[in-house]
Amino acid sequence: MRSLGIVIVVAVVLTGCSEILAAFLVSVDIPQDSYTVAEGRTWQVPVNISGCDSTVPDNCVTWHSDNGCVVRFGTGATATTVHFGTARVDVEVDGGTSSDHADVTVTQQTPVRLQLAERFLPVAHDGTGVLAVRLFDASDHELRRPATFTSADTTVVVVLGVDPGCNGMWPDGVQIGGVRAGSTFVFARFDNLVDSSAVTVQ
């Protein structure tokens, strides 16, 4: 029994050592030190992962952006360029045995279309509602910009405030409040782009 116990202990130790060794054998490399990507795009950050025994190499690493308002990661190396600016992206082998990074410059695109999410929005008297806003470039990629909001008739509907996106860099939408029964329009604007939603207070 004692010899069997020794064998089990040795086996556990060897297994643990092999797992540690395997982790040290995993390495990552981002081929370039820097990348330039247009804003509003979803792309795969190029990376070489070697030594990973998983059928999905991304399972062996973790991605991070130092500025999620510029570059935001989804699953694995899939990233979205949220807003123009710069960010550093890092990839690290789970366990910290190997890592690499690259600088990403997100180039500014021009919005050509602004769209409120609802064409018609009912709001209860003394109630509130939220209108989401989106902007797009000529290729229909979504952009983020500081749109402003106004009510055509503040005796019917008032703008209560915005739904701040990414620490207030842009509004994801606007919160409105019903004052009295009636109908009016709420406008969203950015530069020369305008859209409106019909709001009915019941």
Q: What is the pLDDT of residues 157-189, one digit of tens each?
A: 999 999 888 988 899 999 999 999 999 999 999
CA gap 130, 188 in Å, rounded: 13
What is the rounded average pLDDT for all residues in the chain? Answer: 89
Residue 89 identity (one-letter amino acid) = V
Q: What per-residue confidence (pLDDT) applies to 178?
A: 97
Asked whether the beta carbons of 29 and 47 are under 8 A apart, the reply is yes
Asked whether the beta carbons of 186 and 123 are under 8 A apart, the reply is no
Q: Mean pLDDT, to the nearest integer, of 30-46?
A: 97
CA gap 177, 160 in Å, rounded: 6
Q: What tokens appear for 164 in the block?
A: 């701040």
Q: What per-residue confidence (pLDDT) applies to 77?
A: 95
At residue 11 the predicted structure's pLDDT band, cuts being 50, 70 and 90, is: very low
CA gap 166, 171 in Å, rounded: 8
Whether 7 has a pLDDT exceeding 80, the answer reads no
Kindly give the pairing relationship between strand 113-116 and strand 71-73: unpaired
CA gap 139, 142 in Å, rounded: 9
Q: What per-residue confidence (pLDDT) applies to 79?
A: 97
Asked whether the beta carbons of 181 and 201 are under 8 A apart, the reply is yes
At residue 3 the predicted structure's pLDDT band, cuts being 50, 70 and 90, is: low
Strand order in the sheet with 182-190: 120-123, 193-201, 182-190, 148-151
**pLDDT per residue as tens digits for the range 93-113:** 988 789 999 999 999 999 999
Q: Mean pLDDT, to the nearest integer, of 22-34?
A: 83
Q: What per-residue confidence (pLDDT) applies to 24?
A: 53
Whether 20 has a pLDDT exceeding 50, the answer reads no
CA gap 185, 154 in Å, rounded: 10
Q: Whole-prediction pTM value?
A: 0.80
**Structure letter (DSSP) for residue 57:** G
Q: Can you name the residues that pair with 158 across neighbouring β-strands?
A: 177
Helix (H) or strand (E) holding 9: helix 2-25
Q: Can you name the residues that pair with 73 across neighbouring β-strands?
A: 79
Q: What tokens appear for 127 in the block?
A: 């109630």
